[in-house]
Every structure is written in structure tokens, then in C-alpha cells.
Structure 1
Amino acid sequence: MNCTLTLALISETQEGNIGEDWKYHLSVKAFEDDLDGEASISVPKHTLPSGEIREPFGSPAPVTVFSGECKSGFLVRMKLTATEVDMFINDVGKVEKELRIDLPAPGGGKVTKEVDLAAGVRESPGIIPKSAVFTVRVRLTLACA
């Protein structure tokens, strides 16, 4: 079956008290047998107030993670690195998540999964206990014909 796996950013939000200047990088790897495809999206520094859920800054276009023949679906590994940008020391949090995307029913079609990746970020240096949780919602779509 000929398939295309795409990744799209849906929303971004942060809850916390460490600042409003953020940037982030999301990398994705797709495995059927071996590493079959990979892609990434980087979003530059922008202002994101605490508690607001927004469309991703700059409206990044969806990226193709894999395109070609597939027989069994994919194990997808995602890694989010969120950075609260400071004048002297940036505050960084990371999270990794895996999920399985199976092929659609015979005859083609598509399978769509939305997932949240939430990275905890702590203020550096940790003299004052400040933190935030930065969350990105992504949509993975496996379309086959």
C-alpha cells in the first residue's frame, strides 16, 4: 500500500510563571521495520502569555514524515524541546512520546491521531521556584491508497 505520513502543529500553550518568550523544536521519527522517515519543525522566539491556547506561531506548514510503500503501520517517536528565552540563561524542558499508527482498512483511506506533548520547564538558576508546562498539540495523518 502506498502511504504518506504527515505531521501538523495544531496548537501551543504554556502555563506558568517563568516568562512569555518561547521557542521550540519538534522532531519526529517513523519506524516500520527500521527508521523509515523523519522530519522536524522549529518555531522561532515569540511571545506566548500564560494560559492562552493559540495557533502555532508563524503557522508552520505540515511536514511529510514518510512517503512510500508500507505494510504494517508505524511506531512514531516524537521529541519536543521547549525553551523559555531569557537574557542570560535560557530555561529548557524536553519530553518524548511514542505512539502506534496502524494502516487504514484495506482499500485505502486515512488514520488521524492528535496528541499533546507537554514539557516541564524550570527557571534557572533555581533560586526562586518558578516553572511552566509548555504544551504542543500535534496531528499525525497516515493516508494510504
Structure 2
Amino acid sequence: MAAQNVIIESCDKTNFTVTEDCAKQSVLVQNLMKERSSADEPIPITSVSKEIMEHIIRWMNYHNEHPHMYNDTPEDRCRLSKLHPWDIQFCDELEKDTLFGVFHGAIFMQIPMLIESCARCVAKHLVGKSPAEMREYLNEADEYTPEELEELKKKFAH
């Protein structure tokens, strides 16, 4: 029996056709597949743009074709000490904003191994950075005024 295809629709109404096995890497898509009235009905992913979905689909297709790379179990995710070379290359090819878009898309779509890959890639970029550099990389504002920082330094100085 031929594999059933699934149509995933990005928030800007672009359709992506993937195999059912590929689509099931996303917990959200897997759940929405059960709720649709027709197999031809696109599954809307309202928080992921076409640009980001293209990268997510590329990742899902690769991992669907190479299932031996990781077992998607909590134990395996904890044992992973480093990313597979393909995942490193995938993440390194992405601009920072695109990487964060893929990361957020993976979280929204509930794709555990892509979440893990993105998290490890972001962590790799933070190694050796000062707190200020980390905040800049993560686009996070400093929560404290200079006066509050001085007070904290005095309070916790040894």
C-alpha cells in the first residue's frame, strides 16, 4: 500500500505535501490528522510562515528518510551529547533569526527532536559569551538598571 500524503498549510496559505510518516514527527500535526474530515484537507499551522515551514519540512523529510539517527525517546534525548553532523550543518546554514523561527515553529508543532537540535545549536552559539553577549544574541533586554546591578554585586560579593 502506498504511503498516504498529508498537506500541511503554513500561516500564509502555502501548502507542503509530506508523507504521513513524515508528518507524524509533529505531535500537533499527528493530532490534527485525527480531527480532519478528509485526507485531502490541509492541516493549518497558523503560527509558522512559509519561509520557516520550508526549513522545518526539509528537516522532517531528512529525518523521516534517516530514522536511525535518533530514537525519539526521553532517554535518547538525554543521552545525546552532541548533534549529528547533518543537524549541525542544517542549523549552521540558518541565519540567527531563521534559526529562532525554526525553533519556535518546532515548539509550536511539537517536534521533539527538532526542538532538541535547535536548543543545542543555540547553546553552542552561547558558549564562551559573557552574560551581556548572551542577552544580545538572544535579543533579551537587561532586566536591571546599572544601580540595581551594583547593589546585587555588593550583596553577593564574597
**TM-score, normalised by the number of residues in structure 1:** 0.22
> Which structure's residues are more often helix, by fraction?
2
Greater relative contact order (CA < 8 Å, ≥ 6 in sequence): 1
Larger Rg: 2
**TM-score, normalised by the number of residues in structure 2:** 0.21
